[in-house]
Structure 1
Amino acid sequence: MNAGIDVTSARTGAGRLVIVLGGLSAVSPFATDMYAPGFPQIVTSFATSGTAVQLSLTACLVGLAVGQVVLGPVSDSTGRRRLLLAGCGLFTALSLVCAFAPTIAVFDVARLLQGAAGSAGLVIGRAVISDRFTGPSAARKLSTLSTIAMTAPVLAPVAGGLVLGVGSWRLVFVALAAAGLVLVTAVWVWVPESLPAERRRTGGLRAAFIAMGGLLRRRELVGHLLVMGCGLAAMFAYITGSPFVFQSVYGLSPTGYGLVFATNAVGTTVAGVAFGRLAGRMRLNSLLVIGVAVTVTAAITLVALLASGISTFPSTWACLFGLTSGFGVLLPASTTIILAVGADAPGAASGLLGGIQFVLAAAAAPLPGALGSTTAMSTAVVVLGFVLLSALALITLARPRQGHEEPSTMDQTSPAA
């Protein structure tokens, strides 16, 4: 009887943990994109240029990238819980600074720091999963976090539009501050320390970054970092190019485009759920190969159709749906393997993962329109380039045939769980 109660309690605790970590994974994408519908208001409010306002988005992405690279390895030395609480608290405070910023300069700096504070939830959340779970159990939970993180950018502008319907752009950041306050409370109540003192790295920040350097000397880990990073870069090229493709080229209304984008996001989500179910039955590298193969096939098919003069809405949508479905397997599979290969320094591995994600994504985002106009072909070519780089990294560096262990040999949970 007691054993049954203990199991139920453990499952409830794990469920609450994943819910809180899911919220932490979503809040940074929301902070990045939720205020986008209010750009024209912000330009008017600060009497500034659109470029200066767009710089606030770049600043947030830079903060997210740098914050993950720094906070991941630092958490290997100091523990997870205190940094999570500090990150959520600072995110809340900086959201209020953004809401009441008197000038665009203050706003841009606050966005940079807000991104860095919000990165704690992303990078340390993954490390907490690595501390507490291994094998298929970790894969399923990381798949959940990846699905949330990929879905949040789709929902964020919609939520921002709803907030702007009742108030100014400043209310968006008040809402983000409220979300941060809720997460501080949830972390305090439901997220215990997952890295006990005896498992922490000694030597402070210097030792933490030495650990990160050691990880970068592992061919397999670097290969999977590039597989994941290039895959995410292709996804961001799709995200920034698709509005122009479907609205300017194919004449969809904003509502029609939103439906297309949401449908593709459903494909990503369903594929992520399928990955979570298959992770206990198939090798992770086999699933990764499938994900990469699907993205490459979809991108090659799209470029071939466009090059042959077949540029129709249904064919383009079908190819992009296949592409986004492939992302739903590629991203959680590569994330799980990266954290497993770097299990001796999960915070550092998570920091590298987050850093390369946002660096390559930021580099890829403007490329579909780099030649002056964004077309279906320019978007497809950029996407194809990055998925081919992802495949090349898989073959030459990650080497899936030598890859990750069979699911039958992997534990369900670590002793720390």
Structure 2
Amino acid sequence: MVPPSSSRAAAVSTATAPAPAPGERSAVGLVAVLGALTAVAPLATDMYVPGFPAMGDALGASSSAVQLTMTAFLAGLVVGQLLIGPLSDGLGRRRLLISGSAGFVLFSLVCAVAPNVGLLTGARFLQGVAGAAGMVLARAVLTDRFHGAELPRHFAVLSQVMGVAPIAAPVLGGVILSVSAWRAVFAVLAVLGGLLLFAVVRGVPESLPPERRQSGGFVNTFRAMGTLLGRRAFMGYVLVVAFVAAALFSYISGSSFVFENLHGVSSTTYSLIFATNAVGMLLAGAVFSRLAGRGVRLNTLLTAGVGVVLSGALGQVLVVLSLGESLVGTWVTLFVTAAGIGLVFPSGMSIGQAVGRMAPGAASALLGGLQFLFGALASPLVGLFGEDSSLPMALIMLVAAAGAGLALLGLARPWQGQGEPASV
């Protein structure tokens, strides 16, 4: 998704508008490929969810064993990002990106033909490790390639992709399952991975030349990650993004139960509610892109985003405590929360990558790895604390939002202005 053009530019006819410069065209193509790489993991996470019952029957596995295949994939995403990101600072981005894309195709095919749930679980873990390459290296390539106001604008595109992909994934999976068996989902993922492999080979040049790479082998490469872990401000921004991701994953895992079971809406109506909230995220991302392009401080936008997330989560708790289970109240407060998330992700990732520019791959690994780790830890908590009220989901989201606020004020300290384009 390319950020919208200005109203004045839109008024110029396509016949007379100047064509973009070759460098601009190549940048658009590069960001498009990186955005697609970012979408792979969310698609692979959720596309096969509608086929869980059929998978259990075909493989003779329990529902918990089938659900473990998703946990294995998320674990692979975390491990893969934490390994591949730092390695890319020493080896370069392109060869790891090509290897990861090829591995994703291979392990998707293994998933498609797995004869039992044990092999499927192992293949899903390795599929997650391979798929992590696209996510972690997309952010690193952007940091290598773009600077100044361009960087947050392109990070907004990746964030919007991350907002759309989880919504589209179950829908695509449902369409595939309506005409074929669950194994076809992994075959489609293999095809998508093959197309992305081709796009990477053709459209993603090496962005980290040898003279800019970490020297001293793997030890020094991972030592750079240790250095980042010890930087207060950097870890503050990482934890802001991670806690907000925990709120998002709690919403994703609990909202269908809240709306369909407690409020009695149909699956179609729930899809509409979920899509509406996703639009809120996309609109917030577009607002971020526009304001960042006009010189508004990234730290200001991040602080505003955390405040909106916290307000939405607190409002949800207050609605439940004062009004009980209110469909409209829950929908509105979740929309507000989703809009805040749409501000936090692009601003937090932009600042985090800028502050960690000394080792962009390691910085990307920590930003992405902890994001999925916190999300994976938060997701099962919603069901663990009861299914007769929406209060558990609301409280978990509020705690996560409060954690983001504490990390912002106590560690990131946005008033110090770190990571702003002018300071990089």
TM-score under structure 2 normalisation?
Answer: 0.94
Q: Measure, in 2, the Cα distance between the counterparts of 1:375 and 1:198.
A: 57
Q: CA deviation at 1:405?
A: 5.6
Deviations 1:189-216 (A, max 9, x none): 1100000000001122211110000001
Counterpart for residue 85 of structure 1: 98
Match of 1:253 among 247, 263, 266: 266
Match of 1:297 among 311, 315, 334: 311
Q: Measure, in 2, the Cα distance between the counterparts of 1:205 and 1:179.
A: 32
Q: Helix, strand or coil: the match of 2:155?
A: helix
Q: CA deviation at 1:301?
A: 1.4
Q: Does 1:320 find its partner at 2:343?
A: no
Contact between 1:368 and 1:379, CA under 8 Å: does it hold in 2? Answer: yes
Q: Measure, in 2, the Cα distance between the counterparts of 1:155 and 1:126.
A: 22
Q: Helix, strand or coil: the match of 1:102?
A: coil
Distance 1:374 1:218, change over 3 A: farther
Q: Measure, in 2, the Cα distance between the counterparts of 1:7 and 1:309.
A: 54
Structure 2 portions without partners, runs of 5+: 1-17
Counterpart for residue 45 of structure 1: 58
Deviations 1:311-338 (A, max 9, x none): 3211111110000000000111111111
Q: Measure, in 1, the Cα distance between the counterparts of 2:322 and 2:242.
A: 30
Identity between Structure 1 and Structure 2 (%): 48
Counterpart for residue 414 of structure 1: none
The one-letter amino acid paired with 1:259 is: L
Deviations 1:285-332 (A, max 9, x none): 000000001011111112112111343211111110000000000111
Counterpart for residue 88 of structure 2: 75
Q: How does 1:8-407 map to 2 (within 5 A)?
A: 8-280=21-293, 281-373=295-387, 375-404=389-418, 407=421
Contact between 2:144 and 2:208, CA under 8 Å: does it hold in 1? Answer: yes
Q: Measure, in 1, the Cα distance between the counterparts of 2:323 and 2:244.
A: 27
Contact between 2:386 and 2:392, CA under 8 Å: does it hold in 1? Answer: no
Q: Measure, in 1, the Cα distance between the counterparts of 2:23 and 2:416.
A: 35
Distance 1:199 1:382, change over 3 A: same
Q: Helix, strand or coil: the match of 2:180?
A: coil
Q: Measure, in 2, the Cα distance between the counterparts of 1:48 and 1:387.
A: 37
Q: Helix, strand or coil: the match of 1:135?
A: coil
The one-letter amino acid paired with 2:304 is: I
Q: Helix, strand or coil: the match of 1:378?
A: helix
Structure 1 portions without partners, runs of 5+: 412-417
Contact between 1:241 and 1:374, CA under 8 Å: does it hold in 2? Answer: no
Q: Measure, in 2, the Cα distance between the counterparts of 1:374 and 1:20.
A: 43
Q: CA deviation at 1:28?
A: 0.9
Runs (4 or more) in structure 1 with deviation over 6 Å come to: none
